Structure 1
């Protein structure tokens, strides 16, 4: 007969062994060290989505961002070949209580290209206030959502980002959701409604996350995905970029994929001396520095024997690796919002339209919007629409999508992508007013006013023009109200300089000149009472490049109105409307998108 003591001991042994196995497979997350020591990655030992370590941090999202709490996280994920890896990221939660129903929703925000050097990591740039995507992140936080920002694989110390390795990026976007819920006192539930939002590289990552959701994280409460500017067909996008003003994105992709697939893309044996030097530079640069360094260079300049992109693509192992990054093989299980700039000079819109067709053919619920502008502008112009669309999904509203549409297929209107990097503003709506100092009154320009310009970022040159229809406005002159007819006529082009620095800050400095003519008072023609010399409106702006797209590109200041001559009441009009100290504000906004 077995004694009760021995029976208990025999039972205790396998339980103890099981407990030991569990504890060795999953260790509780620890508080990580300060500084770059946090980025020293341990060997992965648990499951994907496990939080390894965390620490509190601060994020600098700009003056209008809401108050937040933030943490850096180090968590386990999976690369594109199925191996465990360790990824860093940032968890940001508004300090204000969630005002909606249920638990606070979560957005896993997939960033676009940041660069291959460790200081380019979004987590480091968010802390330093230099991340160019802060406007979108702040807008999501302003809506009350928790925002999770993965760095993607490769920003831990001693690593190289596996840039554009689709599955790895998608996995990192998904795994940060469970990892974030394990941060002590974070206030994020692992069961909270979750959406994914990304653009460019982030759009690729968001789409990969959408395709992998069902098999990789089946229990994630994913309700929607928004993916813009997506490089869905790697080879088509690579051919578009080679030798173009966006060549740096192709070159970064070669480095990133070679890091993930070293056997299939043996970079060290493919690169010539010029290529080896460019690789070293690329690994030390962030996105805007790399953009200008490699602009209009072809891949053949950097390969042994000057092999062209077409020759490299013909190598079976390389071809298979590039095609493995393509999207569209799997149905997206939740509503998907796709968007693209019709004038995108970096990512061809046609291949993104093809991705829509593939998803629709698999009965995915897809909405596709076409924005009128280029790549950078569209990223930020789309943000309000994206957040409204995601908000509807969080609130349980259904969407029919646009798979069934009679609208014409969009065709690219991009500027030539060989040569200078030119951002064109074609008849963008202009919201403008002029403050008359002596009268203490404001003149609002017609809502149909527009601004057209070519901003040549390469040549650092701005050329543009104002278009203001003739209009009338009620103004009190000598205490008597009168409808004053006005005409604002541009004199020559608006000209100036425009630069984009390595921190993603846009700098515009120039002047627009215009004649101002008073044509009527109280509906009665008075001749042509015109300023004797053109009014000069300085157009100065220093701020984030996101302002190009989010409607915050504003030129404001003070100017002097010259004397008015040419009519019988010119002396009176000059007395009340001329002189220094007149104020003005011109805000340029991108045109509205359309459905496809």
Structure 2
């Protein structure tokens, strides 16, 4: 038991941390009181041993305020740029998608491009949290130098890049608005060629920071709101894109955001029906319960622990089930990890119960409540869908996304499903030709194909 704990501490913490933890970026509203699920299982012997031998970080002098202090201390560190750090005081008075601030970022964005661009604008706008409270978002719109030779106004391809990160400096918005080597998120580099291709075709490209201001990696409700409000923001700020066609694409972590855009559009942004022409998602997670059990204690456990930390920022009721070791970890420098670092944390296969104070944490009533909040499969997409998945993906089961595809077909949604060669990473590259053709057709205004089985 002691040896196992030593490995966990060495992998997750990495160094001795000071008792006083610095606060994150201005988090806006206070934490609401947490619901309690009294029928959760008591701690296991290992969990009791952890909490007996590791004391909780002292974040406040008042024990009653510990959970609120823990929440604030686990947020991403401030970037030093108020565009990302500052919560406007009048958010409740604004409408979703209403512009708060904008900044020309052409000079810094051009450093990241291999194709010429005409302009890049960073937008800050009002949005909505997972629980419906006022929030804000940021997104970058890049207009290419290449002309648009298709019908109508220049279209906008909304690219939900897989941010997969806990730190606010890892977002496309921060990366493109700062110099090339300013805390680079190397995860984004893999996905940049598709962006260059879109710009070369004359598409404007919109890059939402879809994890939101709390960096809630993997939270679909936040992601969907951020994506839809970024489209609203472009149309509010830049009249030349008011009548443009918009199509959304996202892979892996970005697929969650793209999928949520489709599932939440009818209820959250019904007015976008006339401009949003389709959504493409690849390598998509639809069943959080299934993924949690598959990733638990496996090589993907580092990603799972990172996602759990991120989702707890939007769902602070989870914090009451976090043991003392986990509290040290989430308030350590790990709270600023980019996606190129969270994967290696799973090298020793860390189980979720090593971070919890209740046994069977993934099957607890608290977990079941969270799965329900993250589940969007009971919604009907407001737009045509293009779903694709790697034939040998060992991370995300193809059966889950096939089930979702069938459900959307049964509800009358025009949809296409493609199985492409490769595992989770390589299938992104092998999917490109078919995906690009489908997106281009949507942005030209062509009717969406429907390959759903006839009923």
TM-score, length of structure 1 as denominator length: 0.57
Q: Which residue of 2 aligns with 1:240?
A: 294
- Residue correspondence of structure 1 range 297-316 to structure 2 within 5 A: 297-304=350-357, 307=359, 311-316=360-365
Q: Residues 161-560 of structure 1 correspond to what in structure 2 (within 5 A)?
A: 161-183=215-237, 186=238, 188-220=240-272, 221-263=275-317, 265=318, 267=319, 269-279=320-330, 280-295=332-347, 296-304=349-357, 307=359, 311-404=360-453
1:230-260 Cα deviation digits (max 9, x unpaired): 1101111111111222222211221122111
Which structure has greater helix proportion? 2
- Aligned with 1:84 (options 108, 116, 134): 134
Using the TM superposition, give the Cα deviation of residue 271 of structure 1 relative to its aligned residue in structure 2, in angstroms. Answer: 2.4
CA deviations 1:286-323 (Å, max 9, x no partner) are: 11111112332221222226x3xxx2233323312212
Question: What displacement does 1:63 show?
Answer: 6.0
Aligned length: 359
Q: Would you say the 8 A contact 1:117–1:284 is kept in 2?
A: yes
Q: For residue 119 of structure 2, what is the aligned residue in structure 1?
A: 69
Distance 1:61 1:187 in 2: 27
Structure 2: runs of 5 or more not aligned: 1-78
Aligned to 1:140: 198
* Residues 377/169 of structure 1: CA separation in 2 closer, same or farther (3 Å cut): same
For residues 284 and 180 of structure 1, what CA distance do their matches in structure 2 show? 29
Mark the structure with the bigger radius of gyration.
1
Q: Which residue of 1 aligns with 2:102?
A: 54
Partners of 2:152 and 2:217 in 1: how far apart? Answer: 36
Preserved contact between residue 146 and residue 188 of structure 1 (Cα < 8 Å): no
1:35 CA displacement: 6.5
The structure-2 alpha-carbon separation of the partners of 1:180 and 1:397, relative to structure 1 and needing over 3 Å to count, comes to: closer
Call closer, same or farther: CA 1:167–1:125 in 2, change over 3 Å: same
1:61, 1:135 within 8 Å by CA — same for their partners in 2?
no
Any conservation in 2 of the 1:339–1:371 contact (CA below 8 Å)? Answer: yes
Q: Is the 8 A contact 2:293 2:362 kept in 1?
A: no
CA distance 1:273–1:285, change in 2 (3 Å): same
How many Å apart are 1:281 and its aligned residue?
3.9
User: CA contact under 8 A between 1:178 and 1:190: conserved in structure 2?
Assistant: no
- State how far apart, in whole Å, the 2-side matches of 1:82 and 1:145 are: 32
- Provide the rounded CA distance (Å) in 2 between the counterparts of 1:53 and 1:192: 22
How far is the alpha carbon of 1:99 from its aligned partner?
Answer: 1.9
Q: Is the 2:416–2:451 contact (alpha carbons within 8 Å) kept by the matching residues of 1? A: yes
CA distance in 1, matches of 2:87, 2:197: 31
**C-alpha separation between the residues in 2 aligned to 1:65 and 1:358?**
40
CA deviation after TM superposition for structure 1 residue 148, in Å: 1.0
The alpha-carbon deviation at position 201 of structure 1 amounts to 2.0
The separation in 2 between residues aligned to 1:324 and 1:63, in whole angstroms, is: 38
- Corresponding residue to 2:151 among 78, 98, 101: 101
Q: Which structure: greater strand fraction?
A: 1
Q: What does residue 546 of structure 1 align with?
A: none
Asked if 1:151 corresponds to 2:209, the answer is yes
Cross-structure match for 1:455: none
Report the alpha carbon displacement of residue 154 of structure 1 after superposing the two structures with TM: 4.0
Gaps spanning 5+ residues in structure 1: where?
Answer: 1-33, 406-596
Question: Structure 1's 177 and 63: CA in aligned 2 closer, same or farther, altered over 3 A?
Answer: closer
Contact 1:136 1:380 in 2 (8 A): no
Higher relative contact order (CA 8 A, sep 6+): 2
- Whole-Å separation in 1 of the counterparts to 2:116 and 2:402: 36
- Could you say which residue in structure 1 is the equivalent of 2:83? 38
User: Where in structure 1 do 4 or more consecutive aligned residues deviate above 6 Å?
Assistant: none
Deviation sequence 1:324-364 (CA, Å, 0-9, x none): 21232122232210011122232222111111111111121
What is the root-mean-square deviation of aligned Cα atoms in Å?
2.2
Question: Given that residues 199 and 228 in structure 1 are in contact (C-alpha distance below 8 angstroms), is that contact kept between their aligned partners in structure 2?
Answer: yes
TM-score after normalising by structure 2: 0.74
For the Cα contact (< 8 Å) 2:322–2:355, is it kept in 1? Answer: yes
Q: Distance in 2 between matches of 1:208 and 1:200?
A: 13
Q: For residue 93 of structure 1, give the secondary structure of its aligned residue in structure 2.
A: strand
- C-alpha distance in 1, partners of 2:328/2:369? 27
Instruction: Sort the Cα spacing of 1:333 and 1:272 in 2 relative to 1 into closer, same or farther, 3 A.
Output: closer
Query: By how many angstroms is 1:211 displaced?
Result: 1.4
**How much has 1:169 moved relative to structure 2?**
0.5
Alignment check: 8 A CA contact 1:195 1:222 kept: yes
CA drift at 1:187: 6.2
**Is the contact between residue 353 and residue 361 of structure 2 (CA under 8 Å) also seen in structure 1?**
no
Q: Distance in 1 between matches of 2:344 and 2:298?
A: 11
